[in-house]
Structure 1
Amino acid sequence: MAERISQDNFDTKILQAEGVAVADFYSDSCVPCKRISPLLADLEEAHDNVYVGKVNIAYDRDLAEKYQVASTPTLIFFKNGAEVKRLHGIVKKAELEEAVAEAAEK
């Protein structure tokens, strides 16, 4: 299951991750965020090269502002410390798989 990350460990967990790292920007009151959470857990479990970290925008506003997150859920896919893909709102499993494949190719 995805772990909660913060400003303190974002660089280590996301930007320095091996493989594809997904930053899941969410809020506790966001129903779509809760709906995609199991999909993200499945994604991380199915791929050895994928790490998912959850960023709560209520506690880490600086990160949300830095990455220009205007709504939740926002999923930002990183490879080698660089953003390679971004998804907003409710997404399907196929969209997540496609985004991981695209990010892995970068």
Structure 2
Amino acid sequence: MAERIDAASFEERVLKADKPVLVDFYSDTCIPCKRLNPQLTKLEEARAGELIVVKVNINFDTQVAVDNGVMAAPTLVLFQGGKEAGRTVGFKALKELEEFIDGALA
């Protein structure tokens, strides 16, 4: 299961990571966010060792969401080398997540 990070650990865990990082900006009350969780777990297992998946709760870490231009939940932002490589909003099935990541990192 993806680790929940906060503002204090965002720079270290995401921007300074040596692998691509998929950040799930979510809310506990968001139904699509809840539906996305199992897909992210499968993605994390399938891409173990090559991709890091983390979660940021936009209700508790609002400034991190604002700083990253997040306007809706769920928003998935893919970072590589400390920079945004791609972004998608809303529920995605596993195949769609994999296509998004492959396209953004190509």
TM-score bucket (shorter structure): over 0.9
Please give the alpha-carbon distance, in whole angstroms, between the structure 2 residues aligned to 1:104 and 1:88.
Answer: 17
Alpha carbons 1:27, 1:57 under 8 Å: kept: yes
Deviations 1:40-64 (A, max 9, x none): 1111111121111100001100011
Structure 2 unaligned runs (5+)?
none
Distance, in Å, in 2 between the alignment partners of 1:43 and 1:55 is: 17
- Whether 1:89 aligns to 2:90 is yes
Q: Does the aligned pair in 2 maintain the 1:77–1:99 contact within 8 Å?
A: no
Kindly state the Cα deviation for residue 30 of structure 1 after the two structures are TM-superposed: 0.3
TM-score, length basis structure 2: 0.93
Q: Which moved more, 1:26-35 or 1:88-97?
A: 88-97
Mean CA deviation greater in 25-34 or 93-102: 93-102
Residue of structure 1 equivalent to 2:46: 46
Aligned residues: 105
1:19-75 CA distances to partner (integer Å, 9 max, x unpaired)?
Answer: 210110000000100101111111111112111110000110001110111110000
Please tell me the residue identity of whatever aligns with 2:59: A
Q: Secondary structure at the match of 1:86?
A: strand
Q: Could you tell me how far 1:90 is from its partner in structure 2? A: 1.1
Aligned to 1:80: 81
Please give the TM-score of this superposition, normalised by the length of structure 1.
0.93
SS in 1 for 2:8: coil
Q: Structure 1: which 4+ aligned runs deviate by more than 6 Å?
A: none
2:100 match: 99
| SS of alignment partner, residue 84 of structure 1 | strand
Q: Which moved more, 1:95-104 or 1:36-45?
A: 95-104
Kindly, what percent of the aligned residue pairs are identical? Answer: 43
- Give the distance between the partners of 2:19 and 2:101, measured in 1 at CA: 10
CA distance in 1, matches of 2:98, 2:66: 27
